Amino acid sequence: MFKGVITPVITVLDKNGNLDFAGNRLVINRLIDNGVNGLLFMGSIGEFFALNMKEKEEFIKFVVKTVNKRVPVLIGTGGTIQKDVLDLTHSAEQAGADGVVVISPYYFNLNSETLYRYYANVARSTSLPILNFPDRTTINIEPALVLKLATDFKNIVGIKDTVDNISHTRQLIHVVKSVHPDFRILSGYDEYLIPNLMAGGDGVIGGMSNVIPNVFSGLLADYNKNNFSGVLAAQHKISMMMNLYSISQPFIAAIKGAVAAQGVPIGTFVKQPSIELDERQVEEIAVLLKKVNSLTK
């Protein structure tokens, strides 16, 4: 569980900023049909930071029911108020989720002792498997602390390593997997799927798999079959698609726009502080996708 290609799923909204359940169902089914190995809801791309607790709890029940055990479901339950984190984690457990992803508390630069206490409190509150995710908080969890958490709490089972340095991933693998070989170390950068696997990691949690899930699942299949030409072709598409992240800031709107441009009939509405795509950005996305889709495998 929690390996291969895991998609941090976009959250489809209507024009009033409310959850669009029909649109979200389309997105979920498309991802599963295209072979991804797991789904993470309410991550950064899922706009967790802009959803209130009522929306989050309602969405958790919906996504668990919709996925219906076809692939593992992870729920992002992190935040700045620990009681809310614990309550949301409990909601995910009650709904039947397979695990939670908990970002480090953000705003302050926390030391290792504080981070340990924070994750210990979460781990003691639930029997669910927990993955941590430090990067968007600007706090890096050092490999030694990851090892201590994995050793002290059996339900802390993995990390999304979003550090733009494969050497950091290699160090995590060396330090943690030498003691806990089943601990999952997943890259947070789409283009690092293959380097992650070759270093002994377990896969990727990458936003681009919202747009081209078949390319990611195909890449993983070709890697497992030692089909180097297939790996090279898929990696080329992913490398080109990385330009999508620079089209909008935050990049959430661009990801949604690219999914819609692939023919998925969803709205591309976002919550503040993100803003809607303008005509120039929509055209940039169309041009980029045309180039990527024209590449042959």
CATH number at residue 188: 3.20.20.70
Inside any domain, residue 259:
no
- Percentage of the chain modeled with pLDDT above 90: 85
Average of pLDDT values for 238-260? 96
Residue found under tokens 């908080």: 137
DSSP bridge pairs for 184: 158
Whether 144 has a pLDDT exceeding 80, the answer reads: yes
Residue 163 confidence (pLDDT) = 78
The 10s digit of each residue's pLDDT in 184-241 is 999 999 999 999 999 999 999 999 999 999 999 999 999 999 999 999 999 999 999 9
What torsion, rounded to 10 degrees, do the Cα atoms 152, 157, 162, 163 define? 40
Boundaries of domain holding 59 = 4-218
Inside any domain, residue 269:
no
pLDDT band at 297 (very low <50, low <70, confident <90, very high): low
What average pLDDT does the structure give for the chain? 94
Q: How far apart are CA 116 and CA 127, in angstroms?
A: 18
pLDDT band at 183 (very low <50, low <70, confident <90, very high): very high
Whether 39 has a pLDDT exceeding 90, the answer reads: yes
pLDDT band at 135 (very low <50, low <70, confident <90, very high): low
Whether 138 has a pLDDT exceeding 60, the answer reads: no
Q: How far apart are CA 50 and CA 289, in angstroms?
A: 28
Average of pLDDT values for 159-182? 91
**Whole-model pTM?**
0.95
CB-CB contact of 136 with 165 (8 Å): no
Whether 182 has a pLDDT exceeding 90, the answer reads: yes
Inside any domain, residue 295:
no
Inside any domain, residue 50:
yes
Inside any domain, residue 234:
no
C-alpha pair distances (Å), 278 with each of 11, 42, 45, 254, 262 = 20, 25, 19, 10, 18
Residue 109 confidence (pLDDT) = 76
Q: How far apart are CA 279 and CA 277, in angstroms?
A: 7
Whether 139 has a pLDDT exceeding 70, the answer reads: no
Phi, psi of 161 (to 5 degrees): -95, 95
Residue 136 confidence (pLDDT) = 52
* Total Cβ atoms within 10 A of residue 170: 17
The 10s digit of each residue's pLDDT in 24-35 is 999 999 999 999
Whether 52 has a pLDDT exceeding 60, the answer reads: yes
Phi, psi of 102 (to 5 degrees): -120, 110
Inside any domain, residue 257:
no
Pairing of the two strands 4-8 and 38-41:
parallel
Residue 164 confidence (pLDDT) = 81
Question: What amino acid occupies position 173?
Answer: I
Inside any domain, residue 251:
no
Residue 257 confidence (pLDDT) = 98
Domain count, the chain: 1
Inside any domain, residue 124:
yes
pLDDT band at 166 (very low <50, low <70, confident <90, very high): confident
Average of pLDDT values for 116-123? 94
Residue 168 confidence (pLDDT) = 87
